[in-house]
Structure 1
């Protein structure tokens, strides 16, 4: 082992640990990797910065804009309304799988799932099927179909880019489609049979209504005319009557110990947990008020009082903190400042944890669901940011005009021009993004909110790692001591071992990071068995782009995990066999379409 190999392996090992442990954000880890590679001389300065001008990075940035335009114009929602016409759970799932096959290969998985979550919840309950039977399949099939095309996921583009840098020819737009269709058919058949049986009938939150997906924590203030004034919490009997639980009691800035024994006074703030319908009943019966932050602390400045007409237009909206949201780790006030005037965050729901502090002190995490009181006309503004996902179906309808058709036409033209070789995918996607911005399918003011900067930084910083792993000899060293041990059994066995290795690594860390690390290993593996590298690169692409085993293995899994009230074990039970199905399909059919 040379010094260079030791340095690369050390950097890769530390990065893998940080990715798995989540001690630092993914983009920060990627930046540290880039700096370590440059400072140790493993890559030249030009190689270190090459990821920022890489075709894959430019393409992903443009595809974010294209996806935002399709979502903002209502094009996806119009197509998804077909789900409401289903008459049985089986037909419902078949229509869902078909729609995802039409949309997900060309639009970001995250955008597709964000649009479909509230529609799936509402439509499935309309036909008498538990939403938990559909939300995990929604995530899984969006991943299955996202691997059909080169632009379906950022992981596909990363593998293609690193492979081309290492001398491979690269992949065409629809080169993954034959294997993708086989895996999709096998996966859909599994989800309609054994997977459907393994899925829970109800989530942990029971999902009693589409707009009430679990227990919220909210703050209620004792008003001067409250019915519970001068009573203790035991006398008010809140727990028995309303199935709600007072977690804390504040009097001014002082937290009161033994809150059940305290006589309630005007201005006391109760931190209460329960189902929203019961919290509403509690508020009305006892004459309590929602505790709102002073207007000076919010982004809109001093709010003007609303008249009765304005109040009538307010509604409750459920929003979920998205994966890679810029709000992660920040206080709830960071979201509060992003909301329009007169809006208020009333409650928060967090999986696996009961919040016991003032809402203002809560640090937001992926999957947190917040209940926001806001005007119906302002709901559309929330869709234009990648910070949150609107879950509630009781939202303002998206405008339906020529822009929806135009956005779909532009996306189709981007795909066709790249597939026919008229221009590169980066230029095609960039031209499409500019066209959609000029026609205001994407609001210029919200343009940069549509682009997930963390993903771009992650890609740009990690791409040089692929170069270092290959040029230092680390890839060959890893191959010799892992998959190389099976080289005597032939290329088919080596392919199976490499696919399994990629599958495990992709579940443990970022898909992008796994793709960057494994692409040079795939090429070195091909050299070891004297075979074409293409089948091994295909195995890395499919394994890194499909993560079914855990709710944190892929962004869409995290989204439905929170929205559906699942347990961690639900993903293990349903996703484990599905991973096995994909592994077997890959080992059998990859050599058929891409011979060794």
Structure 2
């Protein structure tokens, strides 16, 4: 019989799943509410809640993310990629070369900055070679995910699991995971994943061109606004008599006049001064229309004259951006970034009303008209990823490059050999980046992902609450009841399936926090080695290919690739099934 505390923990788990799935509040605040409730009812003590923030693995994750961001801001990887991709002449060769390079790099570098750096390369290469960008961005994200699962430090998910191993109270002196414990599954899956994407995934991926047609088939329609200026030639003119509205590859969606939205714009609609016209169209067409100066101006953008050296840049809202949930009008793009929002694109949704009043979501693609200060002001921002390549990045000399690259390789090597702790090595390396002015303290402070640190620390408290109240054992019994007829191997399949499903539709961090104590309890009740039941949770949560919301790199390419939600299901589901089968077979062979 479950007591009050156990029922409360179950209700909190349900709240976390529902809140994350329906985006009721942000992930960080969801965990804060959950743990606050558990703490208020003394399910967990304040010291137990705060102990998560002192977890060594959390600090390792933060420091690795900081180092990854330093790589992103310098030209080290840019120069490397320039040389690697210069010789690729066909889309298939480019895809192969890209995946072969990205997967090993993401095993030791955080994959988010890697993908952020490469999106502009792929965008420009596909445009130059007249190739659909949608055929290349998904392989980029999947290669980063595949490579990240091959080592302990390749993805924060693996390190979170290791943190849970160290912090758990069920098994005394449970051995932490080591750097290459993940390689037995991760390395074969990198090879299998690349082969899959080259020969099967390539056929399943959409071919989204950037040519806009006036049909529902248009893949990359942006919404953008222009205002009828004073003295315009077509004030008082019917829509049917405005030539450029007929044939320039964009659609007039609606007109805002004196606060009233007009969505039925027939051929007899007459334009008036200060009307705000909302168009849907291709981003190149937007720039053409603005530059053509057809009696239209960008609303409230006096700072950008068409005679100044401004440029149109495409960005994607980051998964950890503070802009998420806020209206565009409340984000001071002009003051913060010397930029103005021209247009917004959100996959699979028809956005209506003023662009300024649109609430931003992770993965939204925005077109900005930028001034001369944009590059400098946006360089240290983690609010968004720039799709149009910015050339003016900080260039490092040979000595500083050696410190950064050589230092990271040394830290990893010493950790693998058991000579030095990862925490100590990363801390020393970050200090060196300050001493040699590779990055400023201000830039470093801006790079910290506080929400991620909060989620990880509080997830440790959630796992502890599940164990203390017996909820982990109860849920483990449920898993055993369903999958026990299939044997130990079937139990691994069951744990993988549950974790993968949760990770696909909430977040992988939350999935790990919920399933880890259950998986550990299952292993104990079966009386088998706990290692495969720990690793299977990590692989299932990290190898997330089925949805754009399941992994941050999928979200990053969602808008720029013009993908629909179903595209990830179509390409990612077979790969997820293959990954599950390979993982269970290898872990069973080695440990069971």
Q: Tell me the equivalent position of 1:368.
A: 364
CA shift at 1:204, angstroms? 8.2
Q: Does 1:179 align with 2:174?
A: no
CA shift at 1:255, angstroms? 5.0
CA deviation vs aligned residue, 1:151-173 (integer Å, no higher than 9, x gap): 21111111111112224211112
Q: Tell me the equivalent position of 1:274.
A: 281
Partner Cα distance (1:470, 1:204) in 2: 52
2:396 paired residue among 398, 401, 414: 401
Question: What root-mean-square deviation, in Å, do the aligned CA atoms of Structure 1 and Structure 2 show?
Answer: 2.6
CA shift at 1:55, angstroms? 1.3
Matches within 5 A, 1:38-437: 38-81=39-82, 82-166=84-168, 167=171, 168-202=174-208, 214-251=220-257, 253=259, 261=268, 263-283=270-290, 287-293=294-300, 311-312=308-309, 314-337=310-333, 342-375=338-371, 378-393=374-389, 395-402=390-397, 403-437=400-434
CA deviation vs aligned residue, 1:397-447 (integer Å, no higher than 9, x gap): 423322444322232233223323333323322332232234333333333
Matches within 5 A, 1:481-560: 481-487=478-484, 489-560=486-557
Partner Cα distance (1:271, 1:101) in 2: 42
Distance 1:484 1:436, change over 3 A: farther
Q: Which moved more, 1:326-335 or 1:118-127?
A: 118-127
Distance 1:148 1:217, change over 3 A: same
Q: Tell me the equivalent position of 2:456.
A: 459
Q: Tell me the equivalent position of 1:299.
A: none
In structure 2, stretches of 5+ residues that fail to align are none
Partner Cα distance (1:127, 1:254) in 2: 45
Q: Tell me the equivalent position of 2:474.
A: 477
Check conservation: 2:472, 2:521, Cα contact below 8 A.
yes
2:496 counterpart SS class: helix
CA deviation vs aligned residue, 1:99-125 (integer Å, no higher than 9, x gap): 112321222222111111121222244
CA shift at 1:72, angstroms? 0.4
Work out which structure has the larger RCO, using CA pairs closer than 8 Å and 6 or more positions apart in sequence: 1
Q: Tell me the equivalent position of 1:13.
A: 14
Distance 1:424 1:288, change over 3 A: farther
CA deviation vs aligned residue, 1:510-537 (integer Å, no higher than 9, x gap): 1011111121122111112211100111
Check conservation: 1:109, 1:142, Cα contact below 8 A.
yes
Partner Cα distance (1:194, 1:340) in 2: 44
Partner Cα distance (2:32, 2:306) in 1: 50
Check conservation: 2:149, 2:182, Cα contact below 8 A.
yes
Distance 1:284 1:173, change over 3 A: closer
Partner Cα distance (1:174, 1:87) in 2: 35
Q: Tell me the equivalent position of 2:29.
A: 28
Check conservation: 1:549, 1:579, Cα contact below 8 A.
yes
Partner Cα distance (1:418, 1:289) in 2: 61
Check conservation: 1:155, 1:545, Cα contact below 8 A.
yes
1:490 counterpart SS class: helix
Partner Cα distance (2:19, 2:118) in 1: 32
Partner Cα distance (1:44, 1:406) in 2: 43
Distance 1:88 1:246, change over 3 A: closer
Check conservation: 1:242, 1:281, Cα contact below 8 A.
no
Partner Cα distance (1:335, 1:449) in 2: 17
1:532 counterpart SS class: coil
Distance 1:317 1:147, change over 3 A: same
Partner Cα distance (1:268, 1:406) in 2: 57
1:366 counterpart SS class: coil
Partner Cα distance (1:139, 1:127) in 2: 21
Partner Cα distance (1:205, 1:56) in 2: 47
Partner Cα distance (1:34, 1:239) in 2: 55
Q: Tell me the equivalent position of 2:558.
A: 561
Partner Cα distance (2:531, 2:16) in 1: 27
Q: Which moved more, 1:252-261 or 1:3-12?
A: 252-261
For normalisation by structure 2, the TM-score amounts to 0.91
Partner Cα distance (2:291, 2:71) in 1: 41
